[in-house]
Amino acid sequence: MSTYLTILGFNSAIPTVNSSPTAQFLEMEERAFLIDCGEGTQVQLRKAKARFSKINHIFISHLHGDHCFGLPGLIASFRLLGRETPLHVYGPKGIKEMLETIFKITETHKGFEVIYHELESKKSEKIYEDNRVEVYTIPLDHRIYCNGYLFREKPKERHLNMQEIAKYPEIETCDYHNLKLGKDFILSDGYVLKNKILTTEPSKSVSYAFCSDTRYLETILPIIDRVDVLYHESTFLHDLKEMADNTGHTTALEAARIARKANVGKLILGHFSNRYHDLSVFTDEAREVFPNSFLPKALEPIKI
């Protein structure tokens, strides 16, 4: 099963005719995660032909409007679409009060349970886990409390070598699960069949790191070390580094330095200031430090 990232919006602050604020749709191990929810996210989800019903977990980086103002409308649409499944919302402390106040004032009746996971730790912590995927926070340095998120597939099961297994009638279908988990098989005469004979190496587990609004921050390096794909904000070019520092943002050059020092596979830049009309200047700057840097393409699925 492949992992796909669809970037729904990647510009900063103000929506434009051709771009939307931050939002991403991540499909990993048959799970669907929504990362940030700027204004217009549900329209972008429609354009991406994403199934709303698959989204059970939403991760909000921080409570600036271009990252969360689309969330009340999306939740209201869930109700209109007949949702009954609980929805988990992860975000900074205060997100529950914000949403529930809106729902109260507008008399929005959800019809399903919203389970809030409010975050306030300044250390990385595991906030989601099931048998296939785990998610960690990436503490960032913005003007307000902010987290990025690391999504990581757990080690996958080994593949069965059916040609070899067929040589041993004692191995039944019910034994396949233990073989996939890496266990040896003991024949009735006590002979031990090593697992590496009966199986082949598992598929590679992949990882994706989303780093939203932040100043240049090297403390994230151990958390995102060797991730396959890193999305890192790059609001300004480096000639405006002072403005980036003052507003709690990163330059394209700094994002590339983070990618290089973390040994990531691929860097996707984003969260561009509207002052720039030709976005190729961001990759021009970043590729001088980290050649495998790219611009996002809205609504185009990226295989990780």
Written as one string, the DSSP assignment of 44-86 is HHHHTT--GGGEEEEE---SSHHHHTTHHHHHHHHHHTT--S-
Residues 32 and 83: their CA atoms lie apart, in Å, by 15
Residues in the chain with pLDDT values less than 70: 1
The first and second tokens of residue 154, run together, are 């757990």
* Cβ–Cβ under 8 Å, residues 147 and 92: yes
Task: State residue 1's pLDDT score.
Answer: 67
Q: Comparing C-alpha atoms, which of 217, 215, 263 is closest to residue 235?
A: 215
CA distance 2 to 184: 28
**Each residue's pLDDT tens digit, 247-263:** 999 999 999 999 999 99
pLDDT in the model for residue 301: 94
Sheet holding 87-92, edge to edge: 114-119, 87-92, 55-59, 31-37, 23-28, 4-9, 302-303
Q: Facing residues of 24 across strands? A: 7, 35
Structure confidence at residue 112 (pLDDT): 95
| Residue 99 near residue 114, CB atoms below 8 Å | yes
Closest CA relative to residue 16, chosen from 276, 207, 296, 256: 276
Q: Residue 152 has which token pair?
A: 């990581």
* Three-class SS of 142-178: CCCCCEEEEEEECCCCCEECHHHHCCCCCCCHHHHHH
Q: Which two tokens stand for residue 50?
A: 């994403």
Look at the block and give the residue holding tokens 């996939």.
Answer: 180
pTM: 0.91
d(C-alpha 169, C-alpha 147), whole Å:
53
The reply to whether 66 belongs to the active site is: yes
Q: Which of 36, 66, 228, 278 is catalytic?
A: 66
